[in-house]
Structure 1
Amino acid sequence: MSTMQHHSAERGSTAPVHQLPMQDSPELKAALEQANLQTLLMVYVHLTHDESMLETFKVHIHPPYTNPDYQIPQDCIDDLREKLLYVLTTPGAARNEDPPLALMQKMMTVSVGEPVENEFIPMVLEQSGFQRTAARKEKAERTPPPPGFKVLVIGAGLTGLLASIELERAGYDHVVIEKNEEVGGTWWKNRYPGVGVDTPSHFYSYSFEISPEWNHYHPHGADMREYFRSVADKYDLRRHIRFETRVLSLVFDEATALWNVTVENVKTGERDVIRANAIFNAFGPADRWSLPNIPGIDSFRGVLTHSAGYDEGIDLKGKKVAVIGTGASSAQIVATIVGEVEEMVVFMRTKHWMINNPEVTKEVPEAVKWALRHIPHYKEWFRFRVFWFAADGLYPNVVKDPNYPEDGIAVSALNEGMRQYALSHMRHKLASRPDLIEKLTPDFPIFSKRIVMDAGWYDALVQSHVTLDDTPIAEILPDGIRMKNGTEYKFDVIICATGFNHGKLVKDLVIKGRGDHDLAVDWADEEERAYMGTTIPGYPNYFMSVGPNAGPNHAGGLNIVSEAQVHYMIECLDHMIANGARTIEPTQDAFARHNRRIDDRMKHMIWTHPKAKSYYQNSKGRPVGPWPFRLVDMWNEMRGPVQSDYRLD
């Protein structure tokens, strides 16, 4: 199959039917004035197939990181807006058919100012919302799941909801087990001040459900909750979900080829067993948290909370507040509450690279929302641009240049350029506080651990009532915190922004597979490994999301990995059923070969740099989180199972 031919797909299936011509209205004119210019160009060419306009603009469009201050000539802008207004408001001016794929590829290349090669086209068409895999249950040649076949999904967050939607479209009976009282997973539970997403809003969503309603270019927690609730409503997903229920164990029965799943009601403690043919473990790495192991933590008489279990009713006004931790959650919390508290001390355990991204707090103008809602194809082309610049273009940042010293502060010229960019921002923001610059400057390469977006973090730290203390904490007292150097602080509130328990991917879940396979034994000493981050030998019909070495840690978002893995799971089950088998699992040879490939590639990646220390690694330093290849490689490899790599029974 040519790379320009997409797998069986519905062309344009996600786009609403727009009524053309549109009314020439003040709202339309405002949208044309404020909407993204490159996206408007794509809309015009999409509706007219006018390649001459691409030729006019291609010399003026550059990737944002190469020439950020370049201004497109005003006469070109005026001409585009005038022509697009005419096409949108004049009967018969727009063509009814979509552009051919060759023209779509040319449009993409012009839109982002750099080549969009053939290998990216199928993934980009899907991720931009232009194509969607056809519903499998509508295919006459497909072998449908046998009566009574059931899939059990663990978790109703981003990945679990997606699995429910796709399993329904594939004709699989399924049940979703969710420990919370509502959908959304980590975005339902996390309600700390300033909670938000690093990934851009218009990409951090399902490719087939692109929302025009985001209030910020990077979504806040409330936006995420509303998005997932609206998706659950639209697809009627709650009928599949058992809320306030926790999965305790998964035990495979070889005689029946079924999984016995013990679940517990989180309120009553009542337990029962569900029998399922297949399991999809969809809870993510940011699922379980615990308070830090600091002596005296139980003695504190004030308010003590973790960011992941934050009570929105906590009153911080005029209070003395401690924030323990300096990662992404801490940066958001500190920037949000700094104007409310009387005094704040931030306790730093580890340093982080902070990136300036002015869009992190920027609101989406109403005129742009209007364009996303009403202008044909605008939201798909807008998502394409957002996705492109948040995806594999960032991959070279995490690849080691062999000419750079193994233990240096950067791994390549590009990586050093990003380090200097981050340093320049820090020095600008902290010019009046050289002491903070010294405290905050990391000694490891940028991107070797998760970077943090600056949404007011540096501005908060220079406030007169804020202290950054990097001395180790000795103990928590009934009324405050004592440091190892003897300094004592008094606090009303302690907020622990200390992250999640990433040490065990399946946490405390008991998983026993075929024969003597027990995942606690197979993954002892944190040696967590899988095939394609999704399946494991000895665990038939068991699939997991964002498993070992499947994390999109150089770019993109969890959503693209989740869509690839859900698609892969259903392709595996379809392959099994079409062959009359009851179980499918990877062979030991395929598993070993895949992990050798991961280890060999990881030697060339930033995450094995001697100064890289993060939750991407296990306690022995092996990176168990990151996928060391490009996102397009993952997407292409997960179109379906390599049949010889799987055992059917």
Structure 2
Amino acid sequence: MYKRIRRNLSVLSRSSSTAPTMNGSAKGVPAKEEAVPSPKESPPASKPWIVEDRSVDQVRPLRVVIMGAGISGIVACIRFAQRIPEIDLCVYEKNADVGGTWFENRYPGCACDIPAHTYQATFAPNPGWTQFYASAKEIWQYWKDVAQKYGCYRYMKFKQKVVEAIWDDNKAKWCLKVENLDDGSIHADECDVFISAQGSLNKWKWPDIPGLHDFKGKLVHTAKWDESYDYKGQRVAIIGNGSSGIQVLPAMLPDVAHIDHYARGRTWLSPTLAREVLNQRYGTDKDNITFTPEELARFKENRDEYQKFRKDIELDLQSNFAVTVKGTPEQLAGPAYFAENMKRRLARKPELLDQMLPSFPPGCRRLTPGPGYLEALTDDKVEVINTEIKEVDATGIRTADGKHRPVDMIVCATGFDTTYRPAFPFKGRNGVSLADKWKEHPETYISLATDEFPNFFMCLGPNAALGHGSLLLLIEKSIDYMTECVKKIQRDNILWMMPRRDAVERFTTHCDQYFSRTVFSTKCRSWYKGGREDGRVVALWPGSSLHALKTFANPRWEDFEYRYINDNPNGWIGDGWTVAERNKAISVDYLDDDQIDFPPIVS
């Protein structure tokens, strides 16, 4: 009896050692030995055939296109290449190199207003930052080095601009048109998954001022700086006191004869972030510091020391979320604390404090420490002008009070188009235009995707920026989420996925309700609200960066709708085989200690 059993097992083993072909039959096995009916035969009870001819762990090849090679595009490129098998990856970038905003913005004083040690990839810590607030060129070089280190350039195509993206429901693909900016030619491309990594602040714009382009002197925008122009000894007008205006003024001041600073909007300047960390380590009350060669050498040689310094800064950055929520003790104490800091820095011209202090609470507009800015305003070469600009003529600027101020150069530090509407034809299912869909205000699902746009994900889309915390952490975690979505597409034999409409509506309602309790909804003109005083908060994440980290950690698959290959939701389970069995490459390394989740022993 036992011999017969062993013989039967041997026969079964030999017959099953040959993998079935993809039409359901077994290669080399007589038809009479087939254990399952052919898909061409009628299955029992005339039910539709749902056993898909694929292994349960088989992944289908996917082409993924990323638009933009800034920070988000670099991190996305690294993670998709690392984590997604069978991927055909392409990154289109309109500029000549990586870096995005840090490649484009080259105005004097351009720097990050977040400490450099928290403005870096978690997986690529840099102990070599030369300044606490790193310059734009140093940040750009860091991200170029990261892109080179992790092999991103092999996937990137520069001076290539996506000018159209149309979803084809029959193909289940994004059909793209891409312009070669060197010769103006257009070529077509297709992809299964399309990712926008162009961010929200990439379309700079001139201010709407009558006669601006009649000016015969030098006219520049901070986002399109002419590095060849020599402004030494000139009279300069700087329009705008947002982040770029706050940085460019003190940087230009030493080299110019005079600056007219047009700053109608009142704004809060924050104290230096992590000031206590700097004081404890260096005994300094400076707003920015340059690290000595000896200090940099210690950081490079002693990783533990650098990690502690880095984590102390990160902890300080993450610890002040309560100041953004109305009515908390931290928020109520904020105005006096900020005002005292500004008063100290404006000590040479105390009258400027009344011109600058806003009526809205700190945080309604984006906060920046602005090292050196307030001190520069007290310089005798600077005139701060609160009067509205009426017009620009060939020689200068005329304000509403009739006063004309001649200048040699006008610097527009006036920001970007923050509507989030695409600048090119971008259409989803049934021809839905994203520009039309977001005409009134943009709506997303947790900032990463929107309904009617299958297999489309966004980095730093609407409601993705931060009013508090670490933006780089949010970027990384959002891209982790996207890779999980694409892995699900491959694993579950999905043709496309996109957020359900009701999930998008719930997130929109959630944002409106959440922001009503925060300082961001108070009356001030801010890009957080699309440049409006009373607009909806469409730029910010509804919570801290730590809150975003937890939100992105576990995707809610029930908030998406799906279409499956062959319209077969059962296709994920395959036909009983694994890829290793088909390839005769079975491994039992699941018994290795490092593959086993050993529970703790209770004594």
Q: State the match for 1:449 in structure 2.
A: 365
- Alignment partner of 1:440 is 2:356: yes
Counterparts of 1:451 and 1:592 in 2: how far apart (Å)?
A: 30
Q: State the match for 2:496 in structure 1.
A: 583
Q: Is the contact made by 1:324 and 1:348 (CA closer than 8 Å) also made in structure 2? A: yes
TM-score, normalising length: structure 2: 0.79
Which residue among 305, 315, 335 is the counterpart of 1:419? 335
Counterparts of 1:337 and 1:143 in 2: how far apart (Å)?
A: 60
Q: State the match for 1:197 in structure 2.
A: 112
- Alignment partner of 1:466 is 2:382: yes
Q: Is the contact made by 1:198 and 1:360 (CA closer than 8 Å) also made in structure 2? A: no
Which structure 2 residues correspond to residues 350-369 of structure 1 after superposition, within 5 A? 350-357=265-272, 360-369=287-296
- Alignment partner of 1:371 is 2:298: yes
Counterparts of 1:234 and 1:285 in 2: how far apart (Å)?
A: 26
Q: Is the contact made by 1:473 and 1:481 (CA closer than 8 Å) also made in structure 2? A: yes
Q: Is the contact made by 1:174 and 1:240 (CA closer than 8 Å) also made in structure 2? A: yes
Which structure 2 residues correspond to residues 46-85 of structure 1 after superposition, within 5 A? none
Counterparts of 1:434 and 1:217 in 2: how far apart (Å)?
A: 28
- The amino acid of 2:169's aligned partner reads E
- Alignment partner of 1:235 is 2:150: yes
- Alignment partner of 1:491 is 2:404: no
Alignment RMSD (CA, Å): 1.7
Deviation at 1:143, TM superposition (A): 4.3
CA gap 1:143/1:242 in 2 versus in 1, 3 angstroms: farther
Counterparts of 2:502 and 2:247 in 1: how far apart (Å)?
A: 45
Counterparts of 1:472 and 1:376 in 2: how far apart (Å)?
A: 52
Secondary structure (helix, strand or coil) at the match of 2:483 reads: helix
Q: State the match for 2:35 in structure 1.
A: none
Q: State the match for 2:484 in structure 1.
A: 571
- The amino acid of 2:529's aligned partner reads Q
- The amino acid of 1:582's aligned partner reads L
Q: Gaps (5+ residues) in structure 1?
A: 1-140, 402-411
Deviation at 1:437, TM superposition (A): 1.6
CA gap 1:217/1:359 in 2 versus in 1, 3 angstroms: farther
Deviation at 1:556, TM superposition (A): 1.8
Which residue among 312, 321, 328 is the counterpart of 1:395? 321
- The amino acid of 1:536's aligned partner reads T
- Alignment partner of 1:343 is 2:269: no
Deviation at 1:235, TM superposition (A): 1.6
Q: State the match for 1:40 in structure 2.
A: none
Deviations 1:449-491 (A, max 9, x none): 1012131112211111210111111111111111111111111
Q: Is the contact made by 1:217 and 1:359 (CA closer than 8 Å) also made in structure 2? A: no
Deviation at 1:359, TM superposition (A): 5.8
Counterparts of 1:240 and 1:323 in 2: how far apart (Å)?
A: 40
Larger Rg: 2
Q: State the match for 2:5 in structure 1.
A: none
Which residue among 474, 477, 488 is the counterpart of 2:393? 477
Deviation at 1:381, TM superposition (A): 3.0
Which residue among 129, 136, 141 is the counterpart of 1:226? 141
Q: Is the contact made by 2:421 and 2:434 (CA closer than 8 Å) also made in structure 1? A: no
Deviations 1:577-621 (A, max 9, x none): 211111011112222222222222222111122x23311013461
Deviations 1:366-398 (A, max 9, x none): 23322321214333333222212112x221011
- Alignment partner of 1:274 is 2:186: no
My pick for the range that moved more, 612-621 or 544-553, is 612-621
Q: State the match for 1:631 in structure 2.
A: 545
Counterparts of 2:380 and 2:509 in 1: how far apart (Å)?
A: 53
Secondary structure (helix, strand or coil) at the match of 2:132 reads: coil
Deviations 1:70-110 (A, max 9, x none): xxxxxxxxxxxxxxxxxxxxxxxxxxxxxxxxxxxxxxxxx
Q: State the match for 2:15 in structure 1.
A: none
Deviation at 1:413, TM superposition (A): 3.1
Counterparts of 1:236 and 1:414 in 2: how far apart (Å)?
A: 45
Q: State the match for 1:532 in structure 2.
A: 446
Secondary structure (helix, strand or coil) at the match of 1:582 reads: strand
Counterparts of 1:380 and 1:449 in 2: how far apart (Å)?
A: 32
- The amino acid of 1:494's aligned partner reads I
Which residue among 101, 119, 122 is the counterpart of 1:186? 101
Which residue among 511, 514, 519 is the counterpart of 1:601? 514
Which residue among 557, 561, 564 is the counterpart of 1:643? 557
Deviation at 1:306, TM superposition (A): 0.3
Which residue among 117, 120, 124 is the counterpart of 1:209? 124
Q: State the match for 2:70 in structure 1.
A: 157
Q: Is the contact made by 1:352 and 1:452 (CA closer than 8 Å) also made in structure 2? A: no
Counterparts of 1:648 and 1:381 in 2: how far apart (Å)?
A: 45
Q: Is the contact made by 1:548 and 1:624 (CA closer than 8 Å) also made in structure 2? A: yes
Deviation at 1:424, TM superposition (A): 1.1
- The amino acid of 1:419's aligned partner reads P
- The amino acid of 2:401's aligned partner reads N
Which residue among 517, 524, 537 is the counterpart of 1:612? 524
Counterparts of 1:376 and 1:301 in 2: how far apart (Å)?
A: 54
- Alignment partner of 1:551 is 2:477: no
My pick for the range that moved more, 577-586 or 611-620, is 611-620
Q: Is the contact made by 2:262 and 2:385 (CA closer than 8 Å) also made in structure 1? A: yes
Counterparts of 1:560 and 1:262 in 2: how far apart (Å)?
A: 32
Which structure 2 residues correspond to residues 284-303 of structure 1 after superposition, within 5 A? 284-303=199-218
- The amino acid of 2:82's aligned partner reads R
Deviation at 1:361, TM superposition (A): 2.6
Deviation at 1:360, TM superposition (A): 4.6
Deviation at 1:425, TM superposition (A): 2.1
Q: Is the contact made by 1:349 and 1:472 (CA closer than 8 Å) also made in structure 2? A: yes
Q: Is the contact made by 1:471 and 1:484 (CA closer than 8 Å) also made in structure 2? A: yes
CA gap 1:305/1:145 in 2 versus in 1, 3 angstroms: farther
Q: State the match for 1:507 in structure 2.
A: 422
Deviation at 1:326, TM superposition (A): 1.1
CA gap 1:266/1:600 in 2 versus in 1, 3 angstroms: same
Counterparts of 2:102 and 2:65 in 1: how far apart (Å)?
A: 22
Q: Is the contact made by 2:206 and 2:221 (CA closer than 8 Å) also made in structure 1? A: yes
- The amino acid of 1:424's aligned partner reads E
How many positions carry a matched residue from both structures?
493
CA gap 1:375/1:523 in 2 versus in 1, 3 angstroms: same
Deviation at 1:569, TM superposition (A): 0.6
TM-score, normalising length: structure 1: 0.74
Counterparts of 2:259 and 2:268 in 1: how far apart (Å)?
A: 22
Q: Is the contact made by 2:463 and 2:541 (CA closer than 8 Å) also made in structure 1? A: yes
Counterparts of 2:56 and 2:391 in 1: how far apart (Å)?
A: 63
Q: Is the contact made by 1:322 and 1:347 (CA closer than 8 Å) also made in structure 2? A: yes
- The amino acid of 1:642's aligned partner reads R
Q: Gaps (5+ residues) in structure 2?
A: 1-54, 273-284, 564-603
CA gap 1:252/1:568 in 2 versus in 1, 3 angstroms: same
Which structure 2 residues correspond to residues 112-131 of structure 1 after superposition, within 5 A? none
Q: State the match for 1:265 in structure 2.
A: 180
- Alignment partner of 1:386 is 2:313: yes
Counterparts of 1:218 and 1:429 in 2: how far apart (Å)?
A: 18
Counterparts of 2:503 and 2:465 in 1: how far apart (Å)?
A: 20
- The amino acid of 1:457's aligned partner reads Y
- More relative contact order, 1 or 2 (CA 8 Å, 6+ apart): 2
Aligned-pair identity (%): 28
Deviation at 1:362, TM superposition (A): 0.9
Secondary structure (helix, strand or coil) at the match of 1:450 reads: coil
Deviation at 1:523, TM superposition (A): 1.1
Deviation at 1:546, TM superposition (A): 1.5
Deviation at 1:222, TM superposition (A): 1.1
Deviation at 1:506, TM superposition (A): 4.1
- The amino acid of 1:236's aligned partner reads G
Deviation at 1:145, TM superposition (A): 4.3
Deviation at 1:330, TM superposition (A): 1.0
Counterparts of 2:399 and 2:305 in 1: how far apart (Å)?
A: 55
